[in-house]
Structure 1
C-alpha cells in the first residue's frame, strides 16, 4: 500500500469514542484508528473538510501525524477552519480545490467562576492566541504580527489567497472527462466479439433493472394500507388491501392496532364479520326491492295515521268553534247584566235625614216610618 488516506471530516472534538465519526466528530482516536488500518502505507494523504473545534485536540492530531515519520500531503476539499488549519499544516504538500476556503481567527470560549478564575481563563486564551500566531508564522508566509492581525479580523482565504500566504502550494483544477470514439482506430475482431458479449450482458442487466423499476412504480401506483370506516365511524385498517379494491374474505384488518373482531356494519349496509382480524363473512345489505316494499308499507301506515289526525283535528276545530260562539254569547250576556247593574246603582237613593231629635225618639226607630228605599 503506497498511500494511507486519512479523513478529517467533521468537527474536531476531545470526546474520545470509536463511533465519533458517526456523529460527524473527528478526534485523535478516530485518526489513530485510520492510520493503524493502513500501517503499511509509505505516505499519508489527509482529506480535510472541517469547521475546526478543540484547540488541544487539533494540536494532538498534528503531533500524532508528524510522529509517523511519513510524508504527508493535505488536500483541503471544502472548509478548513480554525484549528483544522493546524492539522492541514502538518503536511509538506498542501493542495486545495478551487472552491475550498480557509479561516483563521482568535481562540474563544466560555468560563464561569470568580474574577480570579475568569482572569486566568482570559490569560490562557491570550497564550493560545500567541501560540497560534507563532505556529502560523513558522508554517506559512505570514509573520507573527500579520497572523495576529488576520486572526483578530477572522479572515477567510480563498484558493488564490491561500497560495499567496502559504496555506496551500497547489490548487486542484476540475478535470473534464471526455469520451470520444476514434473511427480511425483499428479494432481487434476478437475484442469486438467480447464487446458484443459485454453489451449483451449489460443489456440484460439493464432490462432487469427496468423490470425492477416498473415493478417498484407499479407498487407505488397501488399504495396499500387502506383504512375504511363503518357506519359508526370505526376505522378498519386493511394493511394489504390495494387502493380501489373492496375487501374480500380472508383479508386482514385491525381496529386501533388490534385484530378486528365481531360485526361491523358498513355505510352501504353490508356487514363485515371478523374473527381474530380475518374477514370471515360478508352479509350483503337487503335488496333494493325489499327496501322499496318496506318503505311503501311504512308510507301507507303513515298516511292512515295522518288521516286519523286530520279527523281528530276537524272534530277539535268544530268543538273550538262552539266554545268560541258560547263564549261570545256569555260575554254579551255579562255585558248586558253589567249595564243593568250600573243602571240600578244610579237609581238607588234615600229620604232619610238626620236629626238629633230623632235619636231621642225611640218610636221613630221602632216604626221606621220616615225611612224609604227605592228600587
Structure 2
C-alpha cells in the first residue's frame, strides 16, 4: 500500500489510527501533501477516540493552522503519540508538542524560531506589525515552555536564534520524551505496515465473498430479451 504524504489510516482491528503530516501546514491546499486544520478536524471527529499516532516530517507553515492543529490534538479524546520522522520545524515543532508521548529517532531534528511575515507600509504600520508578531509568537513560546525543563528566557533565546535541536538535545530539554533506535523504528514501521495491509486485504476479501454469495443467491439471467 503506497502511503500518501498526508494521510489518515484507520486500523479497526487494533482500534488505532495513524496520521501522516508530511508537508506544509497551510490554509490553502495547493499540493497533495499540504495539511490544513479544517480537513484534520473532520477526520478526527470520525475516529471515535481511537489511539492516534501522528508522524511528522514538515518544514512548518502558517501559525494559525499550526495552533489549530495543536489544539485539536490536545483536545482529542483518545491517546495521542507524536513521532518526528525527519524534520519538525516551525509550526510543525509545536504540533509535535501536542502529545504526552513525543518520540524522535536519533536521525531526526526539531527547529524553533519566532513568527515572521512579509510587511509593507509606513513607519507606524511597520512598528505595529512588529508588535503583532511578538504576540503571535507568544503561544508557541507558551507551548514549548509547557513541556520543557528550560526557562522561558532560554527558550526565547533559542527562538530568537532560530535553533536546530537534535533528538538527544530534545530529550535533554524535555521537548521529546523518548528516543527511538533507528533500526528498531524501521522494523516496527514495517511490521505495522504489514499488519495494516493484511487488515485491508481481509476487508476486501470479505467484501468479495459477500458479493459472490449474493450472486449465488440472486442469479442474473443473461441473454437477449424482447
- TM-score calculated relative to the size of structure 2: 0.70
Q: How far apart, in 2, do the equivalents of 1:129 and 1:143 lie?
A: 16
- Partner-residue secondary structure (3-state), 1:145: helix
* Equivalent residue, structure 2, for 1:30: 39
Q: 1:12 aligns with which of 19, 22, 25?
A: 25
* Equivalent residue, structure 1, for 2:215: none
* Equivalent residue, structure 2, for 1:316: none
1:138 matched to 2:169: no
Where structure 1 has 5 or more consecutive residues not aligned to the other structure, the ranges are 178-375
Which digits, 9 at most, give the CA deviation of each residue in 1:244-273, with x for residues without a partner?
Answer: xxxxxxxxxxxxxxxxxxxxxxxxxxxxxx
* Equivalent residue, structure 1, for 2:161: 153
Q: How far apart, in 1, do the equivalents of 2:116 and 2:92 lie?
A: 15
Q: 1:165 aligns with which of 173, 176, 183?
A: 173
Task: Check the 8 A contact 1:80/1:102 in 2, yes or no.
Answer: yes
Q: How far apart, in 1, do the equivalents of 2:72 and 2:91 lie?
A: 15
Offset of residue 134 of structure 1 = 2.5
Offset of residue 35 of structure 1 = 2.5
Higher RCO (C-alpha under 8 Å, 6+ residues apart): 2
- Partner-residue secondary structure (3-state), 2:39: helix
- Partner-residue secondary structure (3-state), 1:26: coil
Task: Check the 8 A contact 2:49/2:76 in 1, yes or no.
Answer: no
Greater Cα radius of gyration, structure 1 or 2:
1
Q: 1:49 aligns with which of 34, 53, 57?
A: 57
Aligned ranges 1:197-208 → 2 under 5 Å? none
Aligned ranges 1:8-157 → 2 under 5 Å? 8-15=21-28, 17=29, 20=30, 22=32, 24-36=33-45, 39-157=47-165
Q: How far apart, in 2, do the equivalents of 1:160 and 1:63 lie?
A: 26
Q: CA RMSD in A?
A: 1.8
Task: Check the 8 A contact 1:96/1:171 in 2, yes or no.
Answer: yes
Where structure 2 has 5 or more consecutive residues not aligned to the other structure, the ranges are 1-11, 188-226
Runs of 4 or more above 3 Å deviation? none
Offset of residue 36 of structure 1 = 4.4
Cα distance change, pair 6–34 in 1 and its aligned pair in 2 (3 A): farther
Offset of residue 3 of structure 1 = 1.3
Offset of residue 33 of structure 1 = 4.3
Structure 1, 75-84 or 3-12: larger mean CA deviation? 3-12
Aligned ranges 1:205-354 → 2 under 5 Å? none
- TM-score calculated relative to the size of structure 1: 0.43
* Equivalent residue, structure 2, for 1:230: none
Q: How far apart, in 2, do the equivalents of 1:137 and 1:80 lie?
A: 17
Task: Check the 8 A contact 2:61/2:91 in 1, yes or no.
Answer: yes
Task: Check the 8 A contact 1:6/1:31 in 2, yes or no.
Answer: no
